[in-house]
């Protein structure tokens, strides 16, 4: 069984979803992917002169489309190239919504840390304290270890049973996150809590369950009330179904050949608090700016969020679509760019690669979306995206 989160898996051939045309569109024949199908912002500063060309290279490498928002101080600049939908051909547009995948984790972590700031939770509280009997070894796993992936909990998304019904064609199936926790609990711990690092979506399902236990409200409600509404993130939502309202970017998967499969309908409930949010590049930038400038968390808690555990410093296997180097804080990553460190998160989920990187004070930001996934980290598209991120962030 092919698992979309396993880079060594063989191409999967059984998906029966249908894109908006009778056959999948081939990148080899679609005019959508030429570097000429691009739009550049007017009056961008000279330091950003190479960003559009770098984004065009992402499309030239084979991506259907790419979008980037760069913010310097109080000015934002948007860049786009290629197409956000291949059937019918629709240009990639700034402001369109997309599935931001693992970037969701910073939002979820912020809700948890707000509860820490209000002394409802403590970072050293155990999973067992709030979810008695729910997860093996819960007495030894802390909230801090869930947040920075040092819990040793098996990633439920790596179990073939999780994706099986979706691979059989039921892309909109609602997935119960408690089932993900149950599946993870069937697997032995990867290591003793606090002694290693391994990216696990299970951690954030458990965090959401803790939030729901202490507040009596769903994680979606908490996200809306604590983050989306106060910050005016009008293009951001925590969906419970596959439907995307408004204008949005379609996400594609390349499965070993030139044809693409539209993975946009994949149910967001499959990743829930670890990866379900839909947003825009503008909203993501606004969120990280508010977070890093101290408008969402008390200074002491924000400092804790930016503290890197030694075992989570530049751990192997930690690179998604971002830049190698850095480490993991509490739902917040530090990456090493050619011009210095940046804070944020990146993500690869079926159909989308997303990256959001910010200076520590939030004054320099880049948010980028590329609407294809299923690629190795050394694939030309992924390499081109990393180059575009460095060009956009460092100038």
- The Cα 136–Cα 153 span in angstroms is 9
- The Cα 153–Cα 166 span in angstroms is 24
Rg for the chain (alpha carbons), in Å?
Answer: 20
Closest alpha carbon to 104 in 316, 350, 276, 362: 276
- The Cα 111–Cα 209 span in angstroms is 12
Burial profile 76-108: b = 16 or more Cβ within 10 angstroms, e = fewer: bbbbbbbbbbbbeebbbbbebbbbbbbbbbbbb
Supply 2's token pair: 């092919």
pLDDT tens digits, one per residue of 309-342? 999 987 665 554 445 557 999 999 999 999 999 9
Q: What SS3 state is found at 208?
A: helix
Tokens 């530090």: give the residue.
334
- The Cα 278–Cα 107 span in angstroms is 12
Closest alpha carbon to 115 in 206, 194, 210, 196: 210
CB atoms within 10 A of CB 207: 25
- The Cα 128–Cα 121 span in angstroms is 13
- The Cα 351–Cα 43 span in angstroms is 32
Q: What SS3 state is found at 231?
A: helix
**Helix 160-167 × helix 177-185 angle, to 10°:** 140
* pLDDT value of residue 151: 98
Q: What SS3 state is found at 300?
A: helix
Closest alpha carbon to 107 in 356, 274, 241: 274
Q: What SS3 state is found at 117?
A: helix
Q: Do 254 and 262 touch, CB atoms closer than 8 A?
A: no
* pLDDT value of residue 316: 62
In degrees, rounded to 5, the angle at the alpha carbon of residue 209 between the alpha carbons of residues 203 and 212 is 145
Q: Tell me which residues of the chain have a pLDDT lower than 70.
A: 1-42, 255-256, 315-325
Cβ within 8 Å of residue 173, ≥6 positions away: 165, 166, 267
- Bin 50: left if φ > 0, else alpha if -120 < ψ < 50, else beta: alpha
* pLDDT value of residue 27: 38
- Bin 151: left if φ > 0, else alpha if -120 < ψ < 50, else beta: alpha
Phi, psi of 206 (to 5 degrees): -65, -40
Closest alpha carbon to 149 in 202, 101, 108: 202
Q: What SS3 state is found at 303?
A: helix
pLDDT tens digits, one per residue of 361-372? 999 999 999 999
* pLDDT value of residue 35: 31
**Helix 104-117 × helix 202-215 angle, to 10°:** 40
- The Cα 305–Cα 120 span in angstroms is 17
pTM assigned to the model: 0.90
Phi, psi of 91 (to 5 degrees): -60, 150
- The Cα 150–Cα 24 span in angstroms is 40
Closest alpha carbon to 372 in 390, 356, 355, 350: 350
Domains of the chain, first to last:
31-394 (3.40.710.10)
* pLDDT value of residue 36: 31
- The Cα 56–Cα 42 span in angstroms is 17
* pLDDT value of residue 160: 95
């Amino acid at each position: 069984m092919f698992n979309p989160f396993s880079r060594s898996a063989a191409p999967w051939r059984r998906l029966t979803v249908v894109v908006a045309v009778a056959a999948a569109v081939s990148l080899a024949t679609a005019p959508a992917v030429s570097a000429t199908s691009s739009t550049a912002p007017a009056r961008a500063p000279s330091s950003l002169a190479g960003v559009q060309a770098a984004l065009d290279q992402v499309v030239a490498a084979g991506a259907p489309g790419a979008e980037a928002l760069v913010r310097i101080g109080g000015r934002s600049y948007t860049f786009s190239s290629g197409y956000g939908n291949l059937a019918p051909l629709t240009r990639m547009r700034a402001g369109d919504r997309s599935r931001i995948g693992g970037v969701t984790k910073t939002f979820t972590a912020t809700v948890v840390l707000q509860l820490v700031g209000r002394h409802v939770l403590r970072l050293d509280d155990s999973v067992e304290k709030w979810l008695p009997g729910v997860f093996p070894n819960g007495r030894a796993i802390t909230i801090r270890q869930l947040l920075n992936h040092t819990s040793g909990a098996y990633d439920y998304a790596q179990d073939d049973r999780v994706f099986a019904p979706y691979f059989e064609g039921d892309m909109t199936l609602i997935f119960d996150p408690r089932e993900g926790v149950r599946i993870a609990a069937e697997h032995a711990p990867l290591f003793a809590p606090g002694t290693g690092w391994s990216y696990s979506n299970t951690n954030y399902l458990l965090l959401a369950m803790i939030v729901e236990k202490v507040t009596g409200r769903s994680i979606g409600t908490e996200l809306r009330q604590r983050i989306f509404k106060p910050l005016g993130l009008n293009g951001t939502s925590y969906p419970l179904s596959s439907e995307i309202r408004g204008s949005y970017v379609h996400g594609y998967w390349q499965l070993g050949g030139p044809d693409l499969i539209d993975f946009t309908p994949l149910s967001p409930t499959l990743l829930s608090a670890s990866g379900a949010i839909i947003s825009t590049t503008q909203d993501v930038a606004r969120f990280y700016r508010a977070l890093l400038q101290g408008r969402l968390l008390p200074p002491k808690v924000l400092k804790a969020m930016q503290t890197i555990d030694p075992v989570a410093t530049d751990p192997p296997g930690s690179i998604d679509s971002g830049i190698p180097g850095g480490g993991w804080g509490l739902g917040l990553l530090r990456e090493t760019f050619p011009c210095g460190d940046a804070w944020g998160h990146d993500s690869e989920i079926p159909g989308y690669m997303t990256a959001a990187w910010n200076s520590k004070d939030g004054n320099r930001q880049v948010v980028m979306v590329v609407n294809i996934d299923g690629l190795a980290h050394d694939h030309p598209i992924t390499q081109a995206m990393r180059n575009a991120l460095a060009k956009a962030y460092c100038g």
